[in-house]
Amino acid sequence: MNDSFVTVGKPKRKVDGLAIVRGKPVYTPDYDMPDALVVKLLRSPHAHALIKNIETEHAKSINDVVDIFTFCDVERIAYTRAGQGYPEPSPYDTFLLDRKVRYVGDPVAIVAAKTEKAAKDALRNIKVEYEILDAILEMKEATKEGLPIIHDESECSGIYDKSRNIAAHYEMNVGDVEETLKTCDVVIERTYHIDTQLHAALEPHNALTYLDSVGRLTVITSTQVPFHCRRILSHILNKPIADIRVIKPRIGGGFGGKQSVIVEPYAALVTIKTGKPARITYTREEVSMATNIRHEMSFDVTVGATKDGKIKAISLHGVSNTGAYGEHSLTTFMVSGSKTLPLYNKVEAVHFGGDIVYTNLPPAGAYRGYGAPQGLFPLDCAIDELAYEIKLDPLELKEINSIREGETSPIFEIMGEGREGVPQTMKSCKLQECIDLGKNEIDWESKRGKKIRNGSKVRGVGCALAMQGSGIPKVDMGAATIKMNEDGSFNLLVGATDLGTGSDTILAQIAAEVLTVPLEKVIVYSSDTDITPFDVGAYASSTTYVSGNAVRLAAEKIKEKLFELASKYLGKGVSELSLQSGMIACKDGASVSLSELCTMHMYTFNQQQISESASFVGEESPPPFAASFAEVEVDTDTGKITLLNFVSYADCGVALNPIQAIGQLEGASMQGIGWALYEDIIYGKNGRMLTNDFFTYKVPSRMDFGKLTCRLVDSYEPTGPFGAKSIGEIGIDTPIPAIANAIFDATGIRLRHAPFKSERVLFEILNMEV
C-alpha cells in the first residue's frame, strides 16, 4: 500500500532535525531577553495549612528585588490548570495563589527580582505564619468521615462531593455483572494497585513573558496546548484573548506533563504588574514536586469465564488519587475503562466505576496513556490469572476473547472522556497479526512455563494486549492553513504542537503528498496563537489523526483551487487536468508548473493569494492496537529482576513516517518499563516528595534493559489521513502487565502492586519458602 505514496509512509528525516543536531537555540530557555525579571515561587513546606500571616516587606527591601505578590495581591478566580477543551471536564478548584495550601510545594508567594540571587534571597526572607491542618496522605483514607476537607472554598465548581474529598465519580454498567458471574465456571477477584510516575521531561517547565510594542502580552512557553493556555490566561488574568499571544517553540519533552497550564500565569502576572519581561524556570525539584504527576490508582477487578475460556463478565471498580487539585481527574479515570474494556468485547456484562479523590499530595494530571495503563494492569493480569486457573495459555485466552476488525463494543458509545462516547466499529484492527508476530519474535511456545534456570536465576515470559484511541471524538478539533509561494513552495500553518513526536514532519509529509511536491517545498510553522489556526494541542493521541486529517483537507482544497486557476490560465477544462510532481498537465500536452502558476497569479494574471484552510473533528477515534511480550530473569537469591527482552508489535494504521512511529512505540515502551521496574516515588511522613531529582528518582538508562524490539504491522485505517491512526501513547500501556505476567511465569509470584521492586520479589520468595 505504501508503494503508491511518494512522501508519506517513508522514513523522512525530521524537518526540525538539523536544528536539533546542531544545537541551535530553539527551546524557550534559549530566547535571550536581557532585562527579563527572574520569577521564583515560595512554596509551602506543609501538606495542608492556612496562611495566618505573610510578611513580605523585609524581602521586598532587598536590593534587586522588584516585587512580591501573595494571595492578597491577586484576584480570586477559580480555574483548572487542566489545559483541556472548553468547557473543561475538570473541576475549577485552583487559584493562582490562595490563603490555603494543599500539598508540600503549593505556591505561597511570587517573587520578581532582577537577579537569580536576589530572588532566592527574597524567598528566604518572606515570613509566613501557618496554621497547620491535618493532612490526607493516603487515597484510600480520603473519603472517610471526620477527615479534613481539602476543598471547602465556595468559589469552586464542578467538584463531585467536597465534603468527602471526592473530586469526581463515575459509574457504568453493561448487563448485570452479578448475575452473569453466577453463570461462570471460574471467577477471579483481585485488587491491583499502581503507583504514580513522574514525566521527567528533560526540559524543565519554563516560560518567558513580555509586552510587545503595542502592549499585548506575549508568552513563549514550553507547552503542549498553546490555544488552551491563551484561553486560561485570559480567564485568570482578566485579559481579552485578543491581547494575548502564546508561542510554543521546540519543546524538550512533554508526555502530558506540559498539558496543564502551570508556570505561565506566574510570569504573566509579573509582566502585567510590572510591565517588564519575566522568565520563570522550574528547578528539577519543582518539576517533580509541583507540576503534575500520574494518577495513582487501585482497582478491585473481577473476571468471570467459562472453563473453556470464554470471558463473560468483567468488573473494574477503583479509586484514583488526583492529589491536591482535580485537573484531569474524571477523564483519566474514565480512560482506565474506555480504552481497555473494549479490548475484551465478547463479554455479556461489564461494570466500571469508582471515585477520584483529593489528597494532600502533588496534583496528578495528564500523562501518556492517560489512565489506560492503570486500567490495563488489573484487567490484563486478572485475565492472566484466570488463564492459569483454567490451565490455558494466557496468550490464547487473551487472543480468543479480544476484539477484531469489523467488531464493536458497547463501551465505545457509553464511555467517552468526561461524557458519553461515540459508537464505532473497528475498520482496522490487526491485533491478530501483532500477536502472531510478537509471539514468534519472543519465542513464546518454547519459553512459556519452562522456568529455565541458571543457578539462582530463573526466566519467564509474559504478554499483554492493548488499545488506545486517536483523539477525543466530536471534541478535539485541529485546523490547518496552507498558502502558496511563487516558487511553488507552500507555508503550512498548524496549531498542532510538536513535542518532539515528529508531528511537524508528518503533517508536512501529508501536505507534500497531496500537492505532489518534495517535502522541502512545505515549510511548517506551528503553535503560535497569533499566526497559526486553532488546534486543541498535543494530547489524547490526536495529532496524526485529527490535525493530520485537517492538513489533508486543506491540501486537497488547495489542489482543487490550483485546478480551477490552471483551467482558466491554460484555457482547458478542469476534468482534463492532473497534478503530478509539481506540474499541472492537460491530456493534450499543455502544462504549467506550480511555480509559474503561482507567480502569474501573484503578479499578472487573475491576481490573488492562493491559500486555503480546513478544520477537522473526528467522528470516531480509531484505536491503535498492540501485543507486547516481556522476557525477564529473576534472581531468586536477591529478588533482582532483569528485563532481557521487550517485544512490542503495534497496529497504527499506515505509519506516515515509520522511523518516527517506531520511535514513539520504543519511547513509550521504555517509559512503561521504567514505571514497571525503576521509577518509584517516595513521600516523607509530612507528605513531601523525597524522590524529586534524578538521583533519587530512577529514570531507566541504557544499561537497564537487555533488548527492546518494537515493530509495526501492515494496516490501513480508512478514516485516517492516508490510512494512519495514532501511535504516541499505546506503547506505555503494556510493559507493567507484560512484565508482571513474566515475573509470575518465572517464579510463580503474582505481583499486584506496581512498580515491581526487587525487594518485593525477594520478600515474596522468602514468604514462599517459609
Partner 1 sequence: MKITLNVNGKLHDIDIDPGEYLLDVLRRIGYKSVRRSCNSASCGTCTVLLNGKPILSCSTFAASVDGQSIETVEGMSDGEKLHPIQEAILEEGGAQCGYCIPGLIMTGEALLRENIDPSDEEIKLALNGNICRCTGYEPQNRAIKKAAQVMRGELDE
- The residues binding partner 1 (CB under 8 A) are 11, 13-14, 16-25, 27, 29-30, 199-204, 250-255, 283-284, 499-502, 659-660, 662-663, 666-671, 693-695, 699, 701-703, 708, 710
Question: DSSP per residue over 573-609, as a string?
Answer: -GGGEEEETTEEEETTS-EEEHHHHHHHHHHTSS---
Smallest distance, partner 1 to C-beta of residue 284, A: 5
Hey, how many other C-beta atoms are within 10 angstroms of the C-beta on 214?
6
C-beta separation of 556 from 516 below 8 A: no
Find cell 528547578 and name the residue. 283
Task: State the cell numbers at 453.
Answer: 534456570
Question: DSSP per residue over 485-498, as a string?
Answer: -TTS-EEEEE----
Tell me how far apart the alpha carbons of residues 306 and 713 are, in angstroms, rounded to a whole number: 32
Q: Residue type at 503?
A: S
Closer to partner 1 by CB, 119 or 499: give it: 499
Tell me how far apart the alpha carbons of residues 693 and 425 are, in angstroms, rounded to a whole number: 45
Smallest distance, partner 1 to C-beta of residue 18, A: 8
Phi, psi of 633 (to 5 degrees): -125, 125
Burial (CB count <10 Å: 0-12, 13-18, 19+), residue 703: exposed
Smallest distance, partner 1 to C-beta of residue 73, A: 30
Q: Residue type at 508?
A: A
Smallest distance, partner 1 to C-beta of residue 25, A: 4
Closer to partner 1 by CB, 222 or 360: give it: 222
Smallest distance, partner 1 to C-beta of residue 683, A: 20
Q: Residue type at 289?
A: M
How many Cα atoms within 13 Å fall on the side-chain side of residue 71?
20
Closer to partner 1 by CB, 405 or 666: give it: 666
Closer to partner 1 by CB, 188 or 668: give it: 668
Closest to 644 in 3D by CA, of 386, 455, 355, 447: 447
**ω into 87 cis (within 30 of 0):** yes
Phi, psi of 67 (to 5 degrees): -165, 160
Q: Bridge-partner residues for 281, per DSSP?
A: 206
Phi, psi of 600 (to 5 degrees): -60, -45
Smallest distance, partner 1 to C-beta of residue 21, A: 4
Closer to partner 1 by CB, 255 or 352: give it: 255
Closer to partner 1 by CB, 502 or 653: give it: 502
Smallest distance, partner 1 to C-beta of residue 131, A: 34
Closer to partner 1 by CB, 158 or 204: give it: 204
Q: Residue type at 443?
A: D
Closer to partner 1 by CB, 21 or 768: give it: 21
Hey, how many other C-beta atoms are within 10 angstroms of the C-beta on 534?
16
Closer to partner 1 by CB, 197 or 322: give it: 197
Closer to partner 1 by CB, 236 or 466: give it: 466
Closer to partner 1 by CB, 120 or 427: give it: 120
Note the helical H segments in 71-173: 116-125
Smallest distance, partner 1 to C-beta of residue 115, A: 10
Tell me how far apart the alpha carbons of residues 30 and 724 are, in angstroms, rounded to a whole number: 34
Tell me how far apart the alpha carbons of residues 75 and 67 are, in angstroms, rounded to a whole number: 17
* Torsion over CA: 435, 440, 442, 448 (sign): positive
Smallest distance, partner 1 to C-beta of residue 704, A: 9
Smallest distance, partner 1 to C-beta of residue 116, A: 9
Query: How far, CA to CA in Å, does 436 sit from each of 170, 395, 629, 632, 650?
Result: 36, 10, 11, 20, 12
Closer to partner 1 by CB, 586 or 659: give it: 659
Closer to partner 1 by CB, 11 or 275: give it: 11
C-beta separation of 199 from 370 below 8 A: no
Task: State the cell numbers at 110.
Answer: 511570587
Smallest distance, partner 1 to C-beta of residue 27, A: 7
How many Cα atoms within 13 Å fall on the side-chain side of residue 227?
22
Smallest distance, partner 1 to C-beta of residue 643, A: 12
Find cell 513521600 and name the residue. 683
Query: How far, CA to CA in Å, does 711 sit from each of 255, 502, 507?
Result: 21, 18, 22
Closer to partner 1 by CB, 25 or 684: give it: 25
Burial (CB count <10 Å: 0-12, 13-18, 19+), residue 61: exposed
Tell me how far apart the alpha carbons of residues 127 and 728 are, in angstroms, rounded to a whole number: 46
3-state secondary structure of 193: strand
Closer to partner 1 by CB, 105 or 667: give it: 667
Smallest distance, partner 1 to C-beta of residue 631, A: 16
Smallest distance, partner 1 to C-beta of residue 702, A: 4
